[in-house]
Chains A and B, each alone.
Chain A
């Protein structure tokens, strides 16, 4: 299994600012995924991040709002830009292991005031 850590675990931010969330995996993985979970809702895939290429965004998510970096096979960042209260959510990164099992980090709980 993969062990995933995220920083920060939670944050409270002012509207109009940006927050960068870090995701670190204990093993090299090809694909990393970023999800958003709005209050009381299910998980929605934001984008898939492959090392060495541009992230692939899902419908409704754009790079200007959620820029992603994937500098190596164990690390990725997601930035939530120009935040508004509607961005208040839990943001989770995940990776797919060798047996196709997808593992999730503990999440970053973001509150935008």
Chain B
């Protein structure tokens, strides 16, 4: 299916460390978007990477996309307590985004 599947489901690291989350999907996509959600609130858009792009940066975020492997990764460098949240990848096919179950990231002080 188009749905993204994140791995790991939960990740706990120390403040200052890097966090890597992975996403896999099964069908062709136009783009893939990453979102953050704090404690059941609205989703914050982090980054969009198009199917013809391999890597994209935004501040402390780095996203890669490998369409041959149908996978993407989100790297957060120098993590902060405020990065504690759930992170979702959402592959976009022809008409819609389909969300995976997300990765719950906890940053320990």
Chain A residues within CB distance 8 Å of chain B: 1, 33, 37, 41-45, 48, 90, 92, 94, 99-107, 109
Task: Tell me if B43 is interfacial: C-beta within 8 Å of chain A.
Answer: yes
Please, which residues of chain A bring their CB within 8 A of the CB of B97?
Answer: 33, 45, 102
Q: Can you spell out 13 A-B residue pairs with CB atoms less than 8 angstroms apart?
A: A33-B96, A41-B101, A43-B43, A45-B97, A45-B98, A92-B42, A94-B43, A99-B48, A100-B50, A102-B45, A104-B35, A105-B42, A107-B40
CB distance from B5 to the nearest CB of A (A): 10
Minimum CB–CB distance from B41 to chain A (whole Å) comes to 7
Given contacts A90-B40, A106-B41, A106-B42, contact A101 B95 (CB under 8 A): no
8 A Cβ contacts from B2-34 to A: 30-31, 33
Q: What is the chain B residue whose CB lies nearest that of A106?
A: B42
State A53–B90 Cα separation when bound (angstroms): 26
In the assembled complex, which residues on chain A have CB atoms less than 8 Å from the CB atom of B102? Answer: 42
Question: A92 vs B40: C-alpha distance in the bound complex, in angstroms?
Answer: 11
Cβ contact within 8 Å between A100 and B42:
no
Report, as a range, how many residues of chain B touch the other chain.
20 to 34
Query: How many residue-residue contacts, CB under 8 A, span A and B?
Result: 50
Residues in chain B within 8 A of chain A (CB atoms): 30-31, 33, 35, 40-45, 48, 50, 88, 90, 92, 95-102
Please judge, given known A-B contacts A45-B98, A92-B43, whether A102 and B88 are in contact too, CB under 8 Å: no
Cα–Cα, bound, A37→B98 (Å): 12
The DSSP consensus for interface residues of chain A is strand
- Chain A residues with CB under 8 Å of B41's CB are 106-107
Q: A33-B96, A43-B88 are in contact. Are A103 and B40 (CB under 8 A)?
A: no
Of A101, A102, A106, A107, the most chain B CB neighbours within 10 A belong to A102
**Contacts of A102 on B, CB cut-off 8 Å?**
33, 45, 90, 92, 97
